[in-house]
Amino acid sequence: MEALSVDAIPAGEAWRYEPKWDGFRCLAFRDGAKVELHVDCELFSDRCRQFRKIAARAAGLRLGEVVVPADGAFSFDAILQRVHPAPSRIRKLAAETPALLIVFDLLVDATGELLTGKPLDERRRDLEQFYRKYCRGSPNIRLSPSSTSLEQAKEWLRRTGAKLDGVIAKRRDFNYRTGDRSGMQKIKNFRSADCVVGGFRYNENSPLVGSLLLGLYDRKNRLNHVGFTSTIKREDKPALTKKVKSLAGPPGFTGNAPGGPSRWATKRSGEWVPLKPKLVVEVCYDHFTGEHFRHGTRLLPWRPDKAPKQCTIDQLKQKKANLMTLLD
């Protein structure tokens, strides 16, 4: 079942709300002593090996999110490290940063009855009963909170601030509809930051700018590459290309630069033009983890009123919150 991205939490008695967790979707199956975890990422092709502790405690079939706790929140970068194929590396990471399975739906009950035809409210009731009987007390499996209160959904966003991925709203009367987005909506926590444009890339096979490379200064006064924005309107590209080409030249990024070693690096990762640090732009982003924006950002107003040196990484310090307090 898929979620539709919307800008505001839907209101009304038809909706049930849950926190949106920052991890990988997961289906957990158990048949006798055999357990399989189907994680929503093609890199986890051998199913259970990366999350053996969760698999060992899985007591049935349910839908949830695999997360890795870190400093009161959940670290997406830490969970990506489980992609590493070496068994010794996986054992080391499992000991250092144990993963959790946060459960939020039950698709088959303990007797083998298929529940996907039931409405969400009934599945939630069955899930809570199942969890109390089989999972309560497990250090690796937790129950996601759920509420029909709009105020509670708003409070989750307010109280947890930048550390929560957002809120999920689900239709209470809908059965489980694979691939359908009409009964589930996601509202994400978007924030903005002022960044220096430290470089740019051309559109592939084009003389026009395709994306701007963003930088923030650290406490040692180094400009580090933190992400990119490519939401440039087609009609704005000729003028913007002329503008950035006039600023082409060193120093570009004086700290971490684009094109460094990465398992996701492509040939184009190292193809970029450095710029003098003159341009400041505000961008909208959803996550800042591991010293970079996880996804591409959305271009907001240019900030000619802002000095580049004012664009420091300190502006992205997250509000302290402990998401573990939300879990059973």
- Phi, psi angles (nearest 5°) of residue 212: -105, 135
The DSSP-derived string for 64-111 is EEEE-EETTEE-HHHHHGGG---HHHHHHHHHHS--EEEEEEEEE-TT
Residue 301: CA count within 13 A, CB half-sphere: 4
What are the backbone dihedrals phi and psi of residue 90, each rounded to the nearest 5 degrees, phi first?
-65, -45
Tell me if residue 20 is catalytic: yes
Question: Which residue among the candidates 20, 118, 163, 186 is catalytic per the annotation?
Answer: 20
| 3-state class (DSSP) for residue 220 | coil
DSSP letter for each residue of 14-49: TEEEEEE-SSEEEEEEEETTEEEEEESSTT-TTTTG
Phi, psi of 30, deg, nearest 5: -135, 135
Q: By the 8 A CB rule, do 245 and 223 touch?
A: no
The residues pairing with 102 across neighbouring beta strands, listed in sequence order, are: 65, 142
List Cβ neighbours of 234 (8 Å cut-off, separation of 6 or more).
none
Nearest-10 Cα torsion for 157, 163, 165, 167: -20
Are 169 and 149 contacting, i.e. CB atoms less than 8 angstroms apart? no
Choose among 117, 131, 99, 136: nearest CA to 24: 99
Within 8 A by CB and 6+ apart from 190, the residues are 284, 285, 286
> Do 167 and 8 touch, CB atoms closer than 8 A?
no
Q: Annotated catalytic sites, by residue? A: 20
